[in-house]
Structures are given as structure tokens and as C-alpha cells.
Chain A
Amino acid sequence: MKENVLILGGGVAGMQTALALSNIGIASTLIEKEPQLGGRVRNYEKLFPSFESGRRLVETLEQQLLTASFVDVRLQTKVACVDGQPAHFNVWVENHRDVLQANALVVATGFEPFDCSLQEEYGYGIYRNVISATELERFLDSSGPTAGEVRRPSDGGIPETIAIVFCVGSRSDRVGSKYCSRICCSFSTKHAIEIKEKYPQAKVTCFYIDIRTYGRGFEEMYRRAQEMGVTYIRGRVSECSELLNGDITIRAENTFLGRPLQGVFNLVSLSHGMRPSKDASHIAGMLGIAVAEDGFFQTRDMHLYPNDATRDGVFLAGSATGLKPVPDCIADGNSVAARVHEFLRRMDIKGDEHA
């Protein structure tokens, strides 16, 4: 019997899982609902903290997948139903007649951005020049809708004063999620640097609760932003309001000075947190695995089995278990390959001799 692993999600975690499995001679079917691989990273102009191209990273992985011997990529495909048991799963795929056989399943379905209109006091969807970080990322994409220029939605002009609001939809009992989305402080600082690099005269101000640029090279990136002249003010933004010319007034407590602060900006970018992907509970139900209280997939043990789902033979990679930066997604892909390999041997599943 030919061994096969089914990977749900063709973002970087899923892609790396497929590659890592292929490198140890295990075949996989990589299923992706969009018409291309690469998930969200595909459209990131720059990754933090290296400022290298997200697109090029994805293309590198794609190149490797093309030459990988044992990966079957299926785009615009979704899983409809799964039955069977660990080491012998049957997977029905939407719009296809065939049933896939899989010995192990990998969930790499990623995340969803928080809907900023839920935090109504910022005026997202009401005030023209309040945008989301996802939209800012599109502006910054040199192959995107504005060819890499950051433009004010109200008049298409280049903004001179920009505010970046941290922690939108995260760390909140009231709206969004109680957890910290982990990477937003970092991508927000990345955005601030990208803007200053493009427009050195621009005044960029960040409003935050804490700066959680915790990873390797992230603190250095934060310092770099400051030394480029980005102003950081500790104080969660309370409210935005719009002026007649489209400028946005921000009101926030400046906790450094213990007084409220008010500032006017041409453009405001809301650095929103992330939610679990919309399909998460549906997929969990299909696969017979648990979802945790925060909505992301539950791991078998937080410390010892961070890549195992709560059912034997099902594994988890990437932001499906909580937001993480790209290197961690790649590491997850490699870890999952090792976990799958161990599982298959334990279940005595051997592949055919691959020449």
C-alpha cells in the first residue's frame, strides 16, 4: 500500500510540511482552496525582521515543490468529508469523484484577520482614511493595487502623517479575542519602517499597550524603527474621529505623561490581531479533533506535543495553532514531518520502494 499524507492548507506551513515529508520519502497530497499556493505570505512585500520578500520566499518553496518527487498539489480544492480511522483515513474532496486514502492528516489552515469594524470606535468602514493592516500590506505590495504606494483612500494622495494603532481586536475581553496575536507588534514595526523607507519625510506614530517584539532580531528592528524617527506612544487608542478634509483625529492616553493626547493624522492603519480561520470548527468536526477555548486547534500537550492534534494520526502546523512568524511555520512543517514519520512506523505503515 502506498503511504500518503493529506495536508490541508497550502500556505508556507503546509508547503514546508509537504517538502519535508518528500525529503524523507513520504508522499503527500497538498490541498489548497485558493487558486495558488503561498497563503498570506505570498503577498507580503517584506517579511520581518529580515525585510526580504515574502513573494520570493513562496516562489522558492514552489520551485522546490515542483521538483519534489512525492507531492501532489491540488489547487482550488476543499475537503468535504473524512471518515475511517487513524492510519487509514478516507477523504472525500469537493467536486471530485475520487476518494483519497491518507494514513495521516495535517491541518495547516492558518488564520483569519480580525474584522476591524467590530471595534466601532476606530471608525473602520466609516471614516475613509482608517484602513486595516491587511490593506496597508496591499498598498505596500509593489505588485499590488497601488504599485507599492501608500495612498489615502479619500483623495489618493500620499499621507504625510500616519498613525499605526496596535492591538486592535486582541487582548480584549470586550471585542475580538483575549489572547495576544503575537506578531502584530512586529509587523506593525515593520510597516512603520517600510513607510519611513519609502517616505523619509513622513511622520509615523505608533500607539501601543506593550511592545512585544520578542523574537530573534525583532528588538533590533524596533530600535531601528525608533532611530529612523518613528514615535512610539504608550496608550491604547480610545477613539478616532474624522475631520472635513478626511484627516483623522486620534485620542489616546499618553501613559508616559499621564495625560490624554490628541493628534491629527492623514492616515490611520489599524494593526489588527488574528482569529482562527473561519473553517476551523468545521474542520475540527470533520476530522474528529478538538478546538481550544481560543478557537485555534487544540494540541495534544502544550509543551511536549505542540504539533499533535487531539486525535491520533492528525497533526497541526503553522498558525492553525496560534499566530506565529514565518520561521516558526517552517519549523512546524519540519516537526510535523518527523511526527508523521514516527506515527507511520508505529502503525507499521511502510511505503513501497521508491526508486
Chain B
Amino acid sequence: MPDSPEWMRGIRKRFDYGWRYDNVRGVLPDRTIMLDNGYAELEREVQERGLARLAPLSCFQCGSCAALCPAGTGTTEKTGWSVRQTLHKMQLGLEHSEYDDIWLCTTCLRCSVDCPRGVDIADLLANLRKVRTALGVGAMPASIERAMKNIAGTGNPFGESRERTEWAAGLDVPRFRRGMELLYFPCCFNAYDSMAKGVAKATVRILSHSGVDFGILDSQERCCGESVRKAGDESLFRSLAQHNIGVFAENGVRKILTNSPHCYKTFKSEYPGLGGEFEVIHSTQYFAQLIKDGRLKLTRRLNKRVTYHDPCYLGRHSGVYHEPRELLRAIPGLELVEMPDCGQRSLCCGGGGGRIWLDTQKGERLSDLRLEQAARTGAGVLATSCPYCLINFEDSRLTGPGEETIVTKDIAELLWEAL
């Protein structure tokens, strides 16, 4: 009978059921994913090129990552982004096609906070970009490409001259010499960007004021390369890192201080793999120690209500949450208030993963949302400790409708005001 398994088996024995799959594309649009069991070959290729393993093996598709991914909730209709789906595609080995805009990811790591299987998702996505670059698949957005070319050319993403110390003009900053305790390494943004330069200036003033034995290197330094690696240009990253490691070693650098959590993370976690073992400290950690040691005394009152934004690369990536708050609480007269989505759950400003060089459309800027969250606490100042955050939030304020008056400042700037 036509509904019995026996009858159906009889039919099945007589025909090639696969014919329909092959010929449907002539009749209907077909969205079928073709599972390429040659995934093992791709893995081999990945290994041969020394790239990290691609698939997030222990992901079980629960989706905890996707619902709070900042990039997953604020995109245009045309581009869909689901970190969960992207991870599954990586599991299936679909590297060569089928990736919705992977450039939407800022590597903020919000996804990994609650991941039950402990997958380092941002790391994997960076690897995905790296693999695609290495295999010549998928284009890098034009403005990121430009930044890469500039970095390769003159050691900074802006295409400015190699001379990195113009920000220090008139400040009498010592040049680093062998035997000094500390090398101060300003991020490219701290060195060249008009807004972020203020942070570098404040930092060296605080260091000098506190009698710290430090110095800066000059045009020998290049960009730390953190976002180069995230953008997928592994060979450029390695050449930058190896160059910097060589320069540091030649000059006898042992300890590096930086304002940028991105530089911090890359020096601390990525340079050792290429032979560069240095002690790395973020400015907030160092300043907090100076205050504890009594070398830095804050005497001027700042009667401000301040809220603090945990930068992704300082908080989630590096686990530094307390020192920035200690510093703010140490400023006389300063009232520190917290905002929602703080600490481990901090909402990304949108600058990581190379996106600092992308022009994000108004209406899709995470920093707009974050700034509003900050303003709702009633604070007049949004404090942070990352150059990308600083630039993004101030940009949001200046391009906003004019209602937000909350000003963003780096903690170093606030400390300098309180000296």
C-alpha cells in the first residue's frame, strides 16, 4: 500500500533519490549548505601556515553569546550578524564563503563572559579573518586596508611621519636609556591624535611629578600591531612585533607602561610568543601603585560626579577593574557612580577589532548608546582609560543632537587635574 514502509521501500529501491537534489537548482533558488567533508584538508592547510586552529570545537550552540553581542543588535538590515551562527559555520568548515559581515565584530569579548564552554570567541574570529587573509579570500574594508598600508609604511595608521614624539614638545620628557625603570609607550592615537595626545601629556607630567625613572623612545618604535592582527594581517603583525621587540631589547627595556589597553594586551599576551618578554603595566595600575606608595598625592578637589566605562581590553581582556576605580575614588571631591553594564558586562564603545578605522553609520554607533547610558547616571564626566573609547565617546557627544553634555576624559587627565 502506498503508505506502508514495504511499498515505499520498493519504490526507493528503483530510483535514484539524489537526482532531485542535483536538479532542483534549475527550478528553484536553492539555499542548501553543501557540507564539505574536505574540512580536514582546510585544517591541515591552517596548521601548515602556523595559524591557530580554526574551529571552536566545544561550542554547543546554546546561543548565550549571540543575544548580548553588541554587533548583533545594532546592524543594518542588509547585513546580518550572529556570532553563534558564525561559530557553527567555522565548525562546518565554511571558511571560503558565507560569512556575513565579520567586520562588525569588535572583539569586545562580551560573548565569552557567559559562554558555558569557555570558548574564546573573539580570538577565534580574529583567526577567521587571519585565515581568510592568508588564503586570499574576502576583502578587508578599504579604510582598514589604508590603515594597514600606513602602518607598514611609516609605523602608524595615520600615515603621519615616523617621528612619534611631537606630542612631547616642550615637556622635557627624558629619552629612554638602559637601566631606567620604565619605558613609556604611547599608543599611536596617544602620539598623533589631537584629542588623545592630552592623555600622553598628562601621563608624562604625572610620572615626572612623582619622580618616576622613565623615558620614551622615538621614531624607532612602531605601532604595537594589536589591531593589525585582529584585522587578519598576520605577516604585518609579526614584522611590527619583531621590530619593536628588537628595538626594546637593544635599548635594555624591561618594563613597559602604556595607556592603551590594546597595546597592553598585545605586549603582555602576544609578544612573548614572538620572543618579547617584558613586564607590562597599564597606566591605571601604575598610578594606583604610586598612590599606595605615597609617591603621588592628589590635593586639588574636583567636585564632579563621574561614571567609569570599563574598556573591553582593560576589563574583560585583561581583568583590570579595581585600579581605575581606586584612582577615581582617590581624587578629593570626586563622586564615583556606576552605570549599568559595567565591569565584566561593560558595553563596547565600538572601537576594537579594527573598527576604530571604520566609519560606522550614525544610528549604528555603539558609543552613542553607551554615552547615553553614562549620561543617565547624572554624571558630568565619563571617565575611561583607553584612547579608542575616549575618541568614540567624544565623537558621539560632538556629533550628537546636542543634548548630551557629558564629557569623556581619560583617568590620567583627571589625575593631572587633581594634582
What is A's interface to B at a CB cutoff of 8 Å?
A: 117-121, 123, 125-126, 160-161, 175, 201, 203, 205, 211, 222-223, 226-229, 231-234, 239-243, 249, 251, 254, 256-257, 259-265
Contacts and interface: CB of A to CB of B under 8 A. Distances in A.
Contacts of A254: 33, 88
B12 A231 contact: no
B91 A260 contact: no
A244 B43 CA distance: 28
B89 interface: yes
Contact of B5 (A117, A241, A264): A117
Contact of A257 (B8, B12, B33, B34): B33
A175 B5 contact: yes
A127 B84 CA distance: 35
Contacts of A233: 92
Interface stretch (B14-22, B144-152, B370-378, B402-410): B14-22
A117 B18 contact: no
Contacts of B60: 211, 222-223, 226, 232
A123 B12 contact: yes
Contacts of B158: none
Contacts of A257: 33, 85, 88-89
Contact of A120 (B12, B33, B117): B12
Contacts of B21: 241, 249, 251, 262
Contacts of B117: 223
Interface of B: 5, 8-9, 12-13, 16-18, 21, 31-35, 37, 39-40, 55, 57-61, 84-85, 88-89, 91-92, 117
Given A203-B37, A211-B60, A256-B61, 8 more contacts: A120-B5, A126-B12, A243-B18, A257-B33, A257-B85, A259-B31, A262-B21, A262-B32
Nearest to A262: B32
24 contacts: A117-B9, A120-B9, A121-B8, A123-B12, A126-B13, A160-B37, A203-B37, A223-B58, A223-B117, A231-B91, A232-B61, A233-B92, A241-B21, A242-B16, A242-B18, A243-B18, A254-B88, A256-B84, A256-B85, A259-B32, A261-B33, A261-B35, A262-B32, A263-B37
Contacts, number: 87
Contacts of B8: 120-121
A239 B85 contact: no
A239 B31 contact: no
Contacts of A263: 34-35, 37
Contacts of B35: 205, 261-264
Contacts of A232: 60-61
A226 to B, nearest CB: 5
A197 to B, nearest CB: 16
A259 B92 CA distance: 13
A126 B89 contact: no
A201 B40 contact: yes
A242 B13 CA distance: 10
A226 B55 CA distance: 11
Contacts of B58: 223, 226-227
Contacts of A203: 37, 39-40
A262 B24 CA distance: 13
Nearest to B55: A229
A256 B88 contact: yes
A241 B88 contact: no
Contact of A126 (B9, B18, B32, B84): B9
Contacts of A240: 17
Contacts of A234: 61
A254 to B, nearest CB: 6
